[in-house]
Amino acid sequence: MSTSTKLISHIKLPRFVKTEQVFPRNQLSDEAFFASLNEQLEAMKDRVKPGQQIAITAGSRGIDHMPATLRTLADWVKSLGATPFLIPAMGSHGGAVAEGQLGILKSLGITEETMGCEIRSSMETVHIDTVDGLEVHIDKNAYGADGIILCNRVKAHTSFQGPYESGLMKIIAIGLGKQHGAYTCHAMGDDYMSSRIATIGKSVIKNANILFGVALLENAMDKTFEVDVVPSEKIETVEPELLKKAKAAMGRLYFKDCDTLVVRAIGKNYTGAGMDPNIVGRCVNPKLKMGIESQRLAILDISDESHGNATGSGRADVTTRRFFEKFSFDDTYPNAITGYGLTAYAIPVVMDNDKEAMQAAVASSIGIDYQNPRIIMIDNSLEIEHILISEAMIPEAEKIPELVMHGEPFELEFDEGGNLLTPIKW
């Protein structure tokens, strides 16, 4: 037993209740999704000519329908007599190296075999313009293609706000811009991100052969409720309206605050910030208030899909030795340097296991009921339909119509190593 273990051993973790957060179920069925996508692609067919080489962007997020959408786009390009290829479009992710970005795509089920076309991964870019003092670069392979098709989810960003956040403009400026594009967009901080993305995005649309973009909008359960094929010349005006729709549909934790928030795993496949401040709070931009307030935030693991990228770790207070051992400096720190911010990449207090991390979070809190702490546990910031709440939060939950509790309170189950066995989803 370590010294730290002795100091927290008096903390008895409370019982928990399975709780369902009820969100609108407006997602498209697979049949409806592809019917809409194919119908809209029909209007774009004159933009692709036989014999052309067409680049298609592939990002680093786990997005509903994304692999199937990319495969559909590749097959559609082939049906027009052209040759498709995919471009990893993810800024500095994957350690800012071509092999790392291929690895991220593979973890998302995006490979040459599953896509039926070549994937050309390179960090080399071409300087195509200078506007407002910003050098505009895009992926060399994409620039050499006869046309570029964009594909991305449109959603609220985790550290800045504006008419362009995560979406088609961002996949242009930062995705196709590679590490150079990400570094340029972040250079003046979060307050300038949206405007810089817009400036670079408009330049690329003007100076490169962007054909159109496919925008995916997800609801609170991370399921696609709308797909929009947007001609390149309309992206500038259409995307801000899509962003408004996406923000209106996004999920949240229905509680205002808690003593401790426990996140089972963070990762780049969930959000660029590792865990979405729109859900968990603690935005790196102090000017923005978003998500739930918690006195302590514990993170227990890094997703396998994140390949050791621990972006977001610095916003937590406590973590586990398992998390620390998975932390890859090579995969994480390129994001820190590119993003001009170091605090989100710091290492929290490290405890031996899940149980001790939770105990430490409670023990280090100020002015709470230590016998009945108010704790919320989520799997990750992307999947929040099912959560666990501690017994002390039941009276609050009973007053929130969007919450449904299932079953009786129960004790958490841990293995012999102190790691959590109790599932959150059911």
Domain ranges of the chain: 3-23+252-410, 30-249
Q: What is residue 418's predicted lDDT score, i.e. its pLDDT? A: 96
What confidence tens digit (pLDDT) does each residue in 56-105 have? 999 988 889 999 999 999 999 999 999 999 999 998 878 889 999 999 99
Q: What is residue 282's predicted lDDT score, i.e. its pLDDT? A: 87
Average pLDDT of the residues in 356-378: 97
Among 79-88, 140-149, 276-285, where is mean pLDDT lowest? Answer: 276-285
Q: Is the dihedral of CA 125, 148, 31, 116 positive or negative?
A: negative
Among 171-175, 219-223, 416-420, where is mean pLDDT lowest? Answer: 219-223
Q: What is residue 284's predicted lDDT score, i.e. its pLDDT? A: 75
Average pLDDT of the residues in 275-282: 91
Spatial CB neighbours of 269, under 8 Å, sequence gap ≥ 6: 60, 61, 62, 107, 108, 303, 305, 306
On the question of pLDDT at 385 being above 70, the answer is yes
Query: Which two tokens mark 397?
Result: 């939950």
Measured CA to CA, the distance from residue 38 to residue 34 in angstroms comes to: 6
The pairing of strands 134-139 and 125-131 is antiparallel
The percent of residues above 90 in pLDDT, for the chain, comes to 79
* Higher-confidence position of 51 and 222: 51
| H-helix segments, 43-118 | 66-79, 98-107, 112-115
Residue 84 near residue 74 (C-beta atoms within 8 A): yes
CA dihedral 47, 50, 53, 59 (to 10 degrees): 50
Measured CA to CA, the distance from residue 221 to residue 229 in angstroms comes to: 22
Q: Please, what is the average pLDDT of the chain? A: 93
For 385, the 3-state DSSP assignment is coil
Average pLDDT of the residues in 147-165: 91
Q: What is residue 188's predicted lDDT score, i.e. its pLDDT? A: 81
pTM over 0.85: no
Q: What is residue 1's predicted lDDT score, i.e. its pLDDT? A: 53
- Tell me the C-alpha to C-alpha distance, in Å, between residue 355 and each of 4, 5, 200, 252, 418: 13, 10, 47, 26, 5
Q: What is residue 148's predicted lDDT score, i.e. its pLDDT? A: 98
Q: What is residue 157's predicted lDDT score, i.e. its pLDDT? A: 85
CATH architecture of 30-249: 3-Layer(aba) Sandwich (3.40)
Q: What is residue 426's predicted lDDT score, i.e. its pLDDT? A: 82
Q: Is the dihedral of CA 385, 388, 391, 393 positive or negative?
A: negative
Query: Which two tokens mark 324?
Result: 């620390």
Phi, then psi, of 379 in degrees rounded to 5? -70, -50
